[in-house]
Every structure is written in structure tokens, then in C-alpha cells.
């Protein structure tokens, strides 16, 4: 997502591992900020259903140049394989509806926006993630699938323009620390990228989404009650005092 505040609307338009018996928080709430200023909120609910999972998510952002919101419902088979998704959204008063459903070897996408209906057949990938902008459910699903498949062969279903499928790349970074409701917890850190978009994503040991950062644009999505603790940076000791030259000056430093 490369965009300025004024260009956000053009870009956004219409656009765990859960092992057997493991628990997953039924609902999560997030605050969205840009450059430290709150501009919106988001929510996620993921629950087991017959033969798989069901998720609901929503996002609201209101700031100069952008009034963006959506609600989404999604069904997934066991292993978090995408079965269907429906998104109802609005960008600066322009409404859009997007549906996607797995049909054999294809994923049928229908986008209704700006008075036009576009039907696009896309290649179906078992490790595909329905991937709207600023969607906590999408990021959580990426974490789940990545843990199950060693962060390989994941795909993003992009609900923009006529719809597309793009490869997701995940790079594991050094673990960090954080607190959730005042309790210390180790934090896993990965970089997720698709196309030109890059997101820094942080999760706890049970693979639950805690924070996401779109660093180039200055946006952050942070779970309520969570605080990321940056790792201590090594400090360079002060340079030793140099011996004086015979003429009273200091010994010149080498050129860098």
C-alpha cells in the first residue's frame, strides 16, 4: 500500500495455528493510528464451525482525506482454507461489495462498485487469504497458514479493481518482547509482503495477532492492552580520549 493521505481512497476502493484442543480468543479489538495519532479501530472474531472456521472482522478509519470502513464475513475449511468471503465497504461515501467463493479449481470473485459489477475467475490456491487493506482477519489467517505451512506457498486474494491473486512472502525476524494487559510475553515478528506492500506483524506465542505496522505510510494496528517493548539496542562506548599532539592539538581521526 503505497499511498499518501490524499491518495488513500484511490488505493483502498473495493478494493492460529489452532491445534486440536487449543483455545483461540473469540474476539479481539485493535486501535489504528497514523504517526501516533488515533485514526480508527478494527475488530476480529474467529470461531470454530462445522468442519472449519468462521470469521468476522471490521475496520473503520476516519481522517482528513479518508473515510474508510468495511465489514467482512468469511468461512474457512479445516486448515484455514478459504471457502467464501463477503465484504461490504465504503470509501469516502462510495460503497462497494465484494464476494469470493471457491468453485473447484477457481475462486470466483464478484466486485460491485461505482455502479459496475465485475466478475473475475481467479486461480484457486489452498493457502489463499482474502486480503483487504487493514484487515485483522487477513493478518491473523496469514499467521495461521504460515505456521502450518512453514511460511511457504501463501497467496493473497486482493479485492481491488477487477480482483487478483498475488504471492505472499513472509520473512521471520528476531523475537521481541511485549506486555498484554500488563503481563510480559515473548513476541514473534515477521515481515509480510505482497507486491510493493510490506507489513511488520507481531504475534504472541499462541500465534495471536498483537500488532501490525505499515511503516512507509506510518500506520499501526495495535491490539487493545498490548504494548510492544523494543529490544535493547547495543550502545557504542564513548571514544577514548586521544593523546595530545606536540603542538597541543588532538590526534586527527582517520577518514570514514
Cell of 91: 470509501
Ordered domains of the chain (ranges, CATH): 8-227 (2.50.20)
pLDDT tens-digit profile of 137-194? Answer: 999 999 999 999 999 999 999 998 899 999 999 999 999 999 999 999 999 999 999 9
What per-residue confidence (pLDDT) applies to 114?
Answer: 87
Beta pairing class for 128-130 and 154-158:
parallel
* 109-125 burial code (b ≥16 CB/10 A, e <16): bbbbbeeeeeebebebb
Which spans in 5-152 are helix H? 8-12, 136-148
The conformation of residue 100, written as its DSSP 8-state character, comes to E
What per-residue confidence (pLDDT) applies to 41?
Answer: 98
What CA–CA distance (Å, rounded) separates 17 from 144? 4
What per-residue confidence (pLDDT) applies to 231?
Answer: 58
Which is nearest to 156 in space by CA: 82, 221, 88? Answer: 82
What per-residue confidence (pLDDT) applies to 254?
Answer: 33
Mean pLDDT of 109-127: 94
Q: Is 253's pLDDT higher than 70?
A: no
Mean pLDDT of 81-92: 96
What CA–CA distance (Å, rounded) separates 90 from 57? 15
Q: Is 107's pLDDT higher than 90?
A: yes
Q: Which long-range contacts (CB under 8 A, 24 or more apart) does 181-188 make?
A: 181/225, 187/228
pLDDT band per the 50, 70, 90 thresholds, residue 230: confident
Specify the pTM: 0.82
Beta carbons within 8 Å of 232's beta carbon, 6+ residues apart: none
pLDDT tens-digit profile of 27-57? Answer: 899 999 999 999 999 999 988 888 899 999 9
pLDDT tens-digit profile of 4-30? Answer: 444 444 334 333 333 323 344 468 999
**Strand positions, DSSP E, 92-148:** 94-103, 106-113, 116-123, 128-130
Tell me the average pLDDT of the chain.
84
Mean pLDDT of 226-243: 61
Amino acid at each position: 500500500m503505497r499511498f499518501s493521505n490524499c491518495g488513500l481512497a484511490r488505493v483502498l476502493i473495493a478494493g492460529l495455528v489452532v491445534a486440536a484442543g487449543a483455545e483461540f480468543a473469540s474476539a479481539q479489538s485493535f486501535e489504528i493510528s497514523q504517526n501516533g495519532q488515533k485514526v480508527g479501530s478494527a475488530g476480529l472474531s474467529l470461531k470454530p464451525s462445522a468442519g472449519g472456521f468462521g470469521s468476522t472482522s471490521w475496520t473503520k478509519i476516519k481522517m482528513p482525506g479518508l473515510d474508510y470502513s468495511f465489514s467482512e464475513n468469511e468461512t474457512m475449511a479445516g486448515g484455514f482454507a478459504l471457502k467464501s468471503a463477503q465484504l461490504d465497504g465504503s470509501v469516502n461515501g462510495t460503497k462497494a461489495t465484494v464476494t469470493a467463493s471457491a468453485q473447484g479449481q477457481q475462486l470466483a470473485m464478484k466486485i460491485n462498485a461505482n455502479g459496475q459489477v465485475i466478475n473475475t475467475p481467479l486461480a484457486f490456491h489452498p493457502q489463499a487469504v482474502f486480503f483487504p487493506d487493514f484487515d485483522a482477519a487477513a493478518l491473523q489467517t496469514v499467521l495461521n497458514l504460515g505456521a502450518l505451512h512453514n511460511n511457504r506457498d501463501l497467496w493473497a486474494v486482493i479485492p481491488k479493481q477487477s480482483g487478483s491473486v498475488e504471492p505472499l512472502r513472509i520473512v521471520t525476524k528476531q523475537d521481541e518482547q511485549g506486555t498484554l494487559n500488563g503481563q510480559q510475553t515473548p513476541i514473534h515478528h515477521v515481515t509480510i509482503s505482497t507486491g510493493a506492500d510490506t507489513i511488520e506483524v507481531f504475534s504472541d506465542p499462541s500465534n495471536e495477532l498483537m500488532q501490525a505496522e505499515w511503516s512507509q505510510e506510518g500506520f499501526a494496528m495495535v491490539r487493545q492492552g498490548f504494548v510492544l517493548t523494543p529490544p535493547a539496542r547495543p550502545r557504542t562506548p564513548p571514544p577514548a580520549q586521544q593523546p595530545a599532539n606536540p603542538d597541543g592539538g588532538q590526534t586527527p581521526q582517520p577518514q570514514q
